[in-house]
Amino acid sequence: MKQYLNFSYKKSNLSIHQSFSLVLKKIEVLLFSFLCVICIIVSRLSEDFSKNASFWFVDISTPITSTISFPVNATISLLTDFSDLVKAKKENKLLREELQKLQSYYITTLNIHQENKDLKEALNFVKDKSTNYRVVQVIGRSHQIFNNNLIINAGKNRGIREGSLVVGKIGVIGRIESVEENRSRLILLNDSASRVPVMISKARLRGILAGNNGNLMDVIYFAKGRQVEEGDQVFTSGDGDTLPPGLFIGRVKKVDDNSIQVSMVEDIANLNYVTVIDY
């Protein structure tokens, strides 16, 4: 395309030069013809004139030709500059359009890259833990006073079942509560209705993780006297055979003699894809 524009531009400039050159030549021919006629007439009348005719002719024609050529050359230069300006504006417009297209492609590529990254992280977490799992997209969130839910874009159409475990990129986030044809609702671990059997790894302390609709969850029904520290990891215990054991949930955030509070390891606000595991 660029070569074509350059060729068109050169062709346009060439035609301008040719047109003005033809006009200039015609003027020069008429001028020289007129001078030749005068010289012939005068040479018939004066013998000395023929000796100095060539010098006189050059002296007369040179300034006249220069005077005529100056505005013609100036006009050609002005038209050439104008043509260059028009060409530069066209090229600038084309470059701006190409830049906008490249920026659009770049943003699209970034979005695709992030989606692929999320999907790989979800698959890497569950690939060694279950052979029956489905990666789904989060399409809705509900954070109310009495419940914390997520809506996913899969339901009976993809074999989602109530009670199935749901994990994010790193650990467990909740369980499927209700299933419709094309979507499902899951309750998060911090929902007040959530109860999950857990074990604190370092102390080997077992208990029930209960949600309270807050940022921290409570461990209830645990044996007193065990040495539990802040930062200890919390996993599913597998008690009751309702969930597979050893799935990461979070870390101990606060602890005293009568209570243990746990923070969820997943950042729910930034989850776009989750994985539903049948067990």
pLDDT tens digits, one per residue of 57-68: 555 656 666 665
The structural domain count of the chain equals 2
Name residue, tokens 């809506």.
Answer: 151
Same domain, yes or no: 76 and 166: no
Quote the pLDDT of residue 84: 78
250 pLDDT more than 70: yes
pTM above 0.75, yes or no: no
pLDDT tens digits, one per residue of 8-26: 444 445 455 566 566 666 6
Same domain, yes or no: 147 and 211: yes
Same domain, yes or no: 200 and 85: no
Inside any domain, residue 261: yes
Quote the pLDDT of residue 269: 86
Domain end residue (candidates: 127, 152, 180)? 127
Inside any domain, residue 187: yes
Q: What is the dihedral of CA 270, 275, 276, 279, to 10 degrees?
A: -130
Same domain, yes or no: 171 and 254: yes
| Percentage of the chain lying above the pLDDT 90 cut | 31
Distance, CA of 147 to CA of 220 (rounded, Å): 19
Q: In terms of residue numbers, what domain contains 123?
A: 56-127
- The domain that holds 227 is classified in CATH as 2.40.10.340
Domain end residue (candidates: 127, 158, 175)? 127
Inside any domain, residue 68: yes
Inside any domain, residue 167: yes
Same domain, yes or no: 82 and 208: no
pLDDT tens digits, one per residue of 196-215: 999 998 888 999 999 998 88
Strands (E), the chain: 133-143, 148-152, 165-167, 172-179, 184-188, 195-200, 205-210, 216-220, 233-236, 248-255, 260-264, 273-277
Same domain, yes or no: 87 and 142: no
Distance, CA of 213 to CA of 234 (rounded, Å): 19
